[in-house]
Structure 1
Amino acid sequence: MTLKVYLSGEIHTDWRARIIEGARGLDVEFSGPVTDHAASDDCGAAILGEESDPYWRDHKGAMINAIRTRKGIRDADVVVVRFGEKYRQWNAAFDAGCAAALGKSLIVLHPEEHQHALKEVDAAALAVAREPEQVVQILTYVLTGRLPGRD
């Protein structure tokens, strides 16, 4: 069984690489948003033309990015949403809500100190992980039935 996994959320740490590397050898296809922050911010203006009003500049970029995000979430079997420590990620919360509304298997990944702020998001998830390696262990178990340390 191949699992299609969409990796959503913060783009400032190596959490995606840790999951992808840890899942090597598993039957998993990963996708996610554009993680080049500047490209993600600038895509609307670069493709559709510059805007003098920052609202419309951001709006153009958000709409173009949404094409990729919607497709990735819609096609995914599992959506992993990472909430980082440094920035508020409203887009991550939106992605988690979309995944939940579509009935996707949702794994939320965040530090313990965000537990209270994300309690509603956590309640919609099938698993709440603290570290990317726990996500790898979940994917391993789902695909193979193997538990960590019980090979």
Structure 2
Amino acid sequence: MTWRVYLSGEIHTDWRERIVEGARAAGLDVAFSAPVTHHEASDDCGVAILGREPDKFWHDQKGARLNAIRTRTLIGDADVVVVRFGDKYKQWNAAFDAGYAAALGKPLIILHPAEHQHALKEIDAAASAVAETPEQVVALLRYVIDGALEGYTGRQAAE
């Protein structure tokens, strides 16, 4: 079975590439999908296709509604949804994606630095797992997909 993993969240770091490369190196049978990560294209897709808007609200609405087609479809088709909250910018869209995935009953892996634990406690509580690094996400996927714990020798975690 090919697992479908949707990678949602911040677009300013290489976290997606690290997960994809790590999954490939681990030999995992995974197909990854994501929102459009080219910031300007995502913002301007609606007006680029449907025509200019003099009001910024409607400019944004055209883009958001068009992007929602992709996002809702890919989250709906996903076996697992990974949502990354980064240090830079507030990722309101990531929070929405996490809530949407949770409402659909999708297994949810949240990825964020330790300093965001308090701010994201409700989102973390809805998750199946919370990771701090892309490499931890790869290890989670390896375990879920293949049942493999790299380097695990027994009861070491309890000690």
TM-score of the aligned structures, taking structure 2 as reference length: 0.93
Work out the CA distance in 1 between the residues paired with 2:10 and 2:150. 26
TM-aligned CA deviation for residue 28 of structure 1: 0.5
Q: Report the equivalent of 2:4.
A: 4
Q: Report the equivalent of 2:29.
A: 27
Is 1:51 paired with 2:53?
yes
- Unmatched tracts of structure 1, length 5 or more: none
1:82-120 deviation digits (Å, cap 9, x = unpaired): 001011000000000000000000000001111111100
Identify which of 116, 119, 130 aligns with 1:117.
119
1:45-90 deviation digits (Å, cap 9, x = unpaired): 1011111111110010000000000001000000000001011000
Larger Rg: 2
Q: Equivalent residues in 2 for 1:108-147 (5 A)?
A: 108-147=110-149
Q: How many residues align?
A: 151
Amino acid at match of 2:23: A
Amino acid at match of 1:86: K
TM-aligned CA deviation for residue 150 of structure 1: 3.9
1:11-67 deviation digits (Å, cap 9, x = unpaired): 000000000000002110100100100100110110111111111100100000000
TM-aligned CA deviation for residue 143 of structure 1: 1.3
1:105-149 deviation digits (Å, cap 9, x = unpaired): 000000111111110000000000000000000110111111121
Aligned with 2:63: secondary structure? Answer: helix
Aligned with 2:52: secondary structure? Answer: coil
Work out the CA distance in 2 between the residues paired with 1:147 and 1:20. 18
- Identity across matched positions, percent: 74
Q: Report the equivalent of 1:63.
A: 65
Aligned with 1:79: secondary structure? Answer: strand
Aligned with 1:116: secondary structure? Answer: coil
